[in-house]
Amino acid sequence: MKASIIGSGVSGISTAIRLRSKGFDVDVYEKNKMPGGKLNTFKLDEFRFDAGPSLFTMPFLVDELFELFDLNPRDYFNYKKKKIHCKYFWDDKTEFTAFSDNKKFLKEVKKKFDVDESVVKKYLKKAKTKFDLTEKIFLKKSLHKFSTFLNIETVKALFNLNIFQINKTLNKVNSDELKNKYLIQIFDRYATYNGSSPYKTPGMMTLIQHLENHFGTFIPEGGMYEITNSIYNLAKQVGVKFHFDCNVDEIILDKNICKKIRVNNKLIESDIIISNVDVNFTYNQLLKRKFKHRSLKNESSSSALIFYWGMKGTYDKLDLHNIFFSSNYKEEFNSIFEKKEIYDDPTVYVNISCKDVSMDAPKDSENWFVMINSPYNLNQNWDKQVRVTKNKIISKLEKILGVAVGKNIINEKVYTPIDLEQNTNSYNGSLYGSSSNNIMSSFMRHPNFTRNIKNLFFCGGSVHPGGGIPLAILSSKIVSDLIESK
């Protein structure tokens, strides 16, 4: 059996590995010169940057890919657990360090916010319960197959339906249970992990916090691109064939059955075709709008405006992950999702990989990945947005840190939603496909297959179960299981 995969993002490569372990001949077609999709890398002089996702959790999902072939993951891919999840900063000079050790985290909450440890313990315990009740249903299987719900896990979930808090927004749950404004904002932030608003996404999304607080955060040796690099090398080692600079122009159908793809104007036959590109792009460009799906009407997730800065000097107050919060979080999300514009006082995320990967920046320098949440691309004036927003970001960072930032920028690259759309075929430049600003959002994402077209499957962040590295890898398992059982 031959499988052709369109796109070499993390999910596409993972799917290739899983199908190869089941005996498929697998070819991967990538329009760019190197694998990775959004999880890519580049250099500015002596500064190296990871271009895309900067948070790594649930590393065992990567390890599992090596274990499929009885290989020791540590011979190919290594990482370390972070002692600090993130450092948080506010305009009023409040600072908070989120330690990975649960006891230290709770003590810090009590010390900085005067919130009793039992309050946060109860909150996190409920988040764990949500995760445990839904993991096998929502994350490891297709939600769009009736057989998924014929098991004891579904019965347990139904009997505990009230614990999912789907009738409340994430912000409402956090406000009711945590009380403290700083702590609420910290836990509201997790809505951005799938490009949503905490004022719209359902309270069920507290389970995302469980993933980070329970499993921890990690940094690969060599940086985030080593995730792509290691599984790409594994795929090649086990016989997956990659074709770069190969633009897939069309998925060819014969009476609603996928049989061929057109690559650089050449027809290639295949028994199975898997799209690892944005589902909107797949329907609109590769299927030439021959079919429609209700999920294509979903609201797009947020996007991002990113500045990659080579910085002179070192900043001891900062760690790998750093957040500088907006003073009006609600208005920030209102600007993103309602006004479709960047807020005047955006929350700023600063990732500095050289804190853990020393070779990523020259001596006495740092590589700053500076990102703010933005609306998806609707042809806003991005050139103006870049100029105005850069000044506001620098002003905010200098005010909170009390040190010079602007004058120490010695290299710069800017990445807008337009760049994201052009480089990765992400619809409207959204980061995660659909947003989760709806209580039924899990069921409204596009499934990993379509009943209208045989032998066509979908993986990656724009389809079930969602965006981010762990969910993208999990989608590869769902797809390979669906193909095996067809």
> What gap in Å lies between CA 398 and CA 402, rounded to an integer?
5
Q: Per-residue b/e over 113-124, b at no fewer than 16 CB within 10 Å?
A: bebeeebbeebb
Residue 295's pLDDT band (boundaries 50, 70, 90)?
Answer: low
CB-based contacts of 6, cutoff 8 Å, min separation 6: 12, 29, 248, 251, 261, 273, 274, 275, 276, 277, 282, 286
For residue 138, the model assigns a pLDDT of: 64
The average pLDDT across 42-65 equals 95
CA proximity to 54, closest of 40, 66, 43: 40
Give residue 309's pLDDT.
Answer: 98
Quote the pLDDT of residue 439: 64
Give the CA angle between residues 218, 223, 227 to the nearest 5°. Answer: 80
Whether omega before 465 lies within 30 degrees of 0, making that bond cis, reads yes
Q: What is the pLDDT of residue 260?
A: 96
Q: Does the structure show a pLDDT above 90 at 485? A: no
CA distances from 223 to 43, 68, 83, 352, 367 (A): 13, 24, 17, 10, 12
pLDDT in tens, 222-249: 999 999 999 999 999 999 999 999 999 9
CA dihedral sign of residues 195, 198, 199, 200: positive
Distance, C-alpha 406 to centroid of its chain: 29
Structural contact between residues 372 and 348, judged by C-beta atoms closer than 8 angstroms? yes
The mean pLDDT value for 343-347 works out to 97
The encoded tokens of residue 468 equal 């981010």
pLDDT for the residue numbered 292: 73
The 3-state DSSP class for residue 6 equals strand
Higher pLDDT, 447 or 91: 91
- Mean of pLDDT values over 326-334: 97
pTM of the predicted structure, to 2 decimals: 0.93
Nearest partner of 337 among 325, 329, 348, judged by Cα: 329
pLDDT tens for each residue of 358-415: 999 999 999 999 999 999 999 999 999 999 999 999 999 999 999 999 999 999 999 9
Banded model confidence at residue 149, pLDDT cuts 50, 70, 90? very low
Under a CB-based contact definition with an 8 Å cutoff, are residues 416 and 388 in contact?
Answer: no
Residue 85 neighbours by CB under 8 Å, 6+ apart: 98, 99, 100, 212, 213, 216, 217, 321
Looking at residue 251, its pLDDT comes to 96
Q: Are 172 and 182 in contact (CB under 8 A)?
A: no
Alpha-carbon distance 50 to 420, whole Å? 14
Give tens-digit pLDDT for 258-270. Answer: 999 999 989 999 9
Radius of gyration of the chain (CA): 22
**What is the band of 144 on the pLDDT scale with cuts at 50, 70, 90?**
very low
CA dist 183 and 173 (Å) reads 12
Residue 432: which of 119, 239, 246, 195 has the closest Cα? 195
pLDDT attached to residue 164: 61
pLDDT of 155 higher than 50: no
pLDDT for 326 beyond 70: yes
| pLDDT tops 80 at residue 141 | no
Crossing angle between the packed helical segments 469-485 and 10-21, to the nearest 10 degrees:
30
Residue 109 neighbours by CB under 8 Å, 6+ apart: 115, 117, 120, 183
Mean pLDDT of 460-471: 88
Report pLDDT digits (tens) over 80-100.
999 999 999 999 999 999 999
Percent of the chain whose pLDDT exceeds 90: 76
Token code pair at residue 112: 């900085």
Does residue 442 surpass a pLDDT of 60? no
The amino acid at residue 201 is T
Q: For residue 147, what pLDDT is reported? A: 45
Torsion sign over Cα 352, 357, 362, 365: positive
**Dihedral sign (CA 120, 121, 122, 125):** positive
Q: Which residues, other chains included, contact 45 with Cβ-Cβ below 8 Å and sequence gap of 6+?
A: 310, 411
CA distance 474 to 53: 16
| Residues 367 and 353: beta-carbon distance below 8 Å | yes
Spatial CA neighbour of 427 closest among 259, 284, 322? 284
Q: Assign 158 a pLDDT band (cuts: 50, 70, 90).
A: very low
Q: Which of 163-177, 427-441, 459-473 has the lowest mean pLDDT?
A: 427-441
How far, in Å, CA of 483 to CA of 23, rounded?
A: 12
- Which structure tokens are listed for 91? 């305009």
Q: What is the pLDDT of residues 298-309, one digit of tens each?
A: 788 999 999 999
Q: Which domains does the chain have, with CATH numbers?
A: 2-39+221-298+445-485 (3.50.50.60), 107-214 (1.10.405), 300-424 (no CATH)
Is residue 150 exposed (0-12), middle (13-18) or buried (19+ Cβ within 10 Å)?
Answer: exposed
Strands 348-351 and 321-324: antiparallel
State the average pLDDT for the chain: 91
pLDDT attached to residue 136 = 65
* pLDDT, position 146: 39
C-alpha distances (whole Å) from 412 to each of 383, 409, 430, 454 are 15, 7, 23, 46
The tokens describing 245, both together, are 């600079």
CA dihedral 32, 243, 470, 375 (to 10 degrees): 20
pLDDT, tens digit (0-9, with 9 covering 90-100), for 22-32: 999 999 999 99
Q: How far is CA 380 from CA 57, 256, 389, 392, 416, in A?
A: 33, 38, 13, 18, 11
Cα–Cα distance for residue pair 296/422, rounded to 1 Å: 19
Residue 148: band (very low, low, confident or very high) from pLDDT cuts 50, 70, 90: very low
Query: Is residue 124 predicted with pLDDT exceeding 60?
Result: yes
Per-residue pLDDT, averaged over 420-438, amounts to: 87
Specify the length of the chain in residues.
Answer: 486
Q: What is the mean pLDDT of residues 126-150?
A: 62
